[in-house]
Structure 1
């Protein structure tokens, strides 16, 4: 449900902009507000699940997500939509991280890659179904239906959780670091507010600058606080593990480019190619199909090449896939566009799963809750930054050229901008020891 929601909205953005009387670029706030809310509330997910029981928290989260989806569907303006998306993010923050935590507590190190693959494969049904479903609903019903589709899914999910997931006992986690959580959440919120509004002409520029200053200052205070308190909201000791440190860093940079693509592609196909929302959705599902096809092959790739080689050289392939998108123009056959996107989906899927699994391969069970919170927060934060990154390149190129609306050349510049972050992951991933994560990948065993 969460992944479906994230993919259908991008396809519906042009129609939403027309109906709400705003610019399509300004509606990136509807995506980033949700991702920021996820980022702010995810650090609480592990503690809340331990304190109140994972099953109970999961069911409440599904209910909140469904209620917020209904509010999104009846929104009459950008402000209402953004507020409803923030509430949706609160529900989403308590769903996927809790599931990941429960899974990682049950598997051995050598099962981490396989478990991560099984965890993410069902979730890929959302990105596969989302673009064509979002386009179909937008063209035949209304863009509001892309949110209402969550209601029957949530009802089925609640019934399934109640019937099949056993009740988990409440534990007594350490006292919540309220100060740390507040400082971290406020810092991230201010930084993302600044990134979302700077250079957009939506609000005075001094507000964006002030948000950056406040976010940076609160972030500095948060780091100082968590270094000196027991059971901090952010367990910095986890960064002593090279696999965790490099997995988070390389995965975060990669997600800036990966987060820009789902935002840019539907806009490009509809504004640049003149495609309908339905056709746009059918083409953009190629990326998800490629990702789905890659998942069963991820374990074999890691066993053959190891984490370091996969993360270094596959990052180059991801970057090249964005460069290929920059070459798109209305003269391309749509079948060729579909093929390029499918190949790009293969590379991005391998990078996603490898960096995700690397974060957990060396973390002891006692620290899994903290590792899950940090990794999930970083994932959502940098995916949100990716939307802002892509929108910023698009807006800057349009403004420099003096165009009121983005043209094909502006999208080409934006895709080249999306290609930069994956390239920066290469030297970071190269710092991994050659035998990093061998228990999970089996790479050394084969070499020996």
Structure 2
């Protein structure tokens, strides 16, 4: 039986392009998770406190969030091939810089550079496929590419833990070098340099306000845990971020070529989805950082065992994929998100009941259930947010959602790290398990409270 026109198999001439984009997606997805299990070992090597190393994750994710708005404009202006090639070069050289860093400051600098490259890899690669591959084969191409995004988080924590044990933490960055070189070699053969004939002027002032807002909020929260920063300095950063966000709100309403026009939020479902995405992701996005730290620092597990323990959460995420759509169709977005948001928060908070002696089967089941619930949460929120956007706003709305997702991860990790340090100072370092447990309860409660946002979804919202 022949494939329908909208679901044709991918033709051979486009497979190399999909392979190339998959390389970039894999590198970006891998680097988001591979560092998590290596943080304690990196802290020892650099002479730092592992509880204050969350800045490594924040720096990378924040720079990704900040540069997402640039990706589409750069690709239209300079061509998808040139932009993608530059992204791979930046990411690869920054990985090399990370591997040879001698202190935390150098490592943070190169992590930011890595984030800049990572911010361009997936959006520009996806854009190249959209412009080159016929619509009838696009679904097949996206399905193949998405496998790379699933493999990265699946092997990232375990690979990071294994490399730390058999070699040194430097290798979690050095493994990007051969993949980057392969991507460089394939780029000019597989990707045409498609450009747009007319490109509107880039909204640099709006971009600047967004960067200041995101940086101020993330670094303000993170600096609360730093002994070198005063509470007043942290408050100034947060207030500065809020002021920049308010200025951008006015800018988006008045500027004709604003990156994200305010009319996007006239769509009630989109506005609810964006707000819900931001708050409901804080806890779920913090756990891939927080759990490996707790397992190693508080419970004394090895990096490799810690990485292996993260696999059930990813498998739970994969297992949930086939059932999400039928559940939403059966119960509707409102009921699914109300119930699932509370379940995710309860699951996060219940991790506070685990100890170093928790049976392996119970811990595995707990992580698996969290992975399923968290995946259902993310997919439900994303589809709700974008489903009613008109075609004219689809690109802008999707970019803003991608930026909010990364910003939520940045702030979530910063918040988790700050809470652990605050509770450690309160309970004392001898009670570090209690500090992690208290942090998990706080993050779970934030998620449960977020259910109020989804309460505002109209009852008659169509699937």
**TM-score with structure 1 setting the length:** 0.90
> Shift of the alpha carbon at 1:105?
9.0
Q: For residue 133 of structure 1, report the CA deviation from its aligned partner.
A: 0.4
**Cα distance in structure 1, aligned partners of 2:357 and 2:132:** 51
Aligned equivalents of 1:114, 1:251: Cα separation in 2: 28
Structure 2 CA distance for aligned equivalents of residues 175 and 237 of structure 1:
20
2 CA distance for matches of 1:353 and 1:141?
A: 37
1:80 to 99, 106, 114: 106
Residue 446 of structure 2 is matched in structure 1 by 421
* Residue among 66, 89, 92 paired with 2:118: 92
Partner of 2:64: 38
Match of residue 383 from structure 2: 357
Q: Distance in 2 between matches of 1:371 and 1:56?
A: 25
Q: 1:317 to 1:244 in 2, by over 3 A?
A: same
Q: What is the deviation of 1:166?
A: 4.7
Following superposition, the deviation at residue 193 of structure 1 comes to: 1.7
**1:349-368 CA deviation, whole Å, 9 max, x = no partner?**
11111212222212222222
* 4+ residue segments displaced more than 6 Å: 102-107, 112-119
Return the alpha-carbon distance in structure 1 between the equivalents of residues 139 and 384 of structure 2: 8
Distance 2:281 2:73 in 1: 26
Verify: 1:436 aligned to 2:461, yes or no. Answer: yes
In the alignment, what sits opposite 2:323? 297
Confirm or deny: 8 A CA contact 1:55 1:168 kept in the other structure: yes
- Please say if 1:234 is aligned against 2:260: yes
Map 1:236-385 to 2 at 5 A: 236-385=262-411
Give the CA deviation at 1:437.
Answer: 5.0
Distance 1:348 1:248 in 2: 17
Q: Is the 8 A contact 2:52 2:225 kept in 1?
A: no
CA drift at 1:98: 3.4
Alignment check: 8 A CA contact 2:68 2:119 kept: yes
| Structure 1 equivalent of residue 436 of structure 2 | 411
Task: Figure out how many residues of one structure are paired with residues of the other and give that number.
Answer: 434
Cα displacement string for residues 332-364 of structure 1 (whole angstroms, at most 9, x for unaligned residues)? 122321121011000101111121222221222
CA contact 2:87–2:120 (8 Å) conserved in 1? yes
Three-state SS of the structure 2 residue aligned to 1:231 is: coil
Q: Is the 8 A contact 1:9 1:134 kept in 2?
A: yes
The reply on whether 1:179 has 2:205 as its aligned counterpart is yes
Match of 1:19 in 2: 45
Q: Distance in 2 between matches of 1:353 and 1:377?
A: 16
Measured in 2, the distance between the counterparts of 1:242 and 1:367 equals: 14
TM-score computed with the length of structure 2 as normaliser: 0.87
- CA RMSD after TM alignment: 2.5
Quote the residue 1:445 is aligned against: none
1:195 — aligned with what? 221
Aligned residue in 1 for 2:231: 205
Correspondence 1:129 to 2:158: no
Query: More deviation in 155-164 or 331-340?
Result: 155-164
CA contact (8 A) 2:219 2:414 kept: no
| Structure 1 unmatched runs, 5+ | 439-448
Unaligned runs of 5+ in 2: 1-26
The alpha-carbon distance between structure 1 residues 320 and 171, as it changes in their structure 2 partners (threshold 3 A), is farther
Alpha carbons 2:68, 2:399 under 8 Å: kept = yes
For the 8 Å contact 1:117–1:295, the answer to whether it is kept is: no
CA contact (8 A) 1:394 1:406 kept: no
Does residue 52 (structure 1) correspond to residue 78 (structure 2)? The answer is yes
Quote the offset at 1:121 in angstroms: 4.8
1:142/1:105 CA distance change after superposition, 3 Å? same
Which secondary structure state, in structure 2, belongs to the residue aligned with residue 359 of structure 1? helix
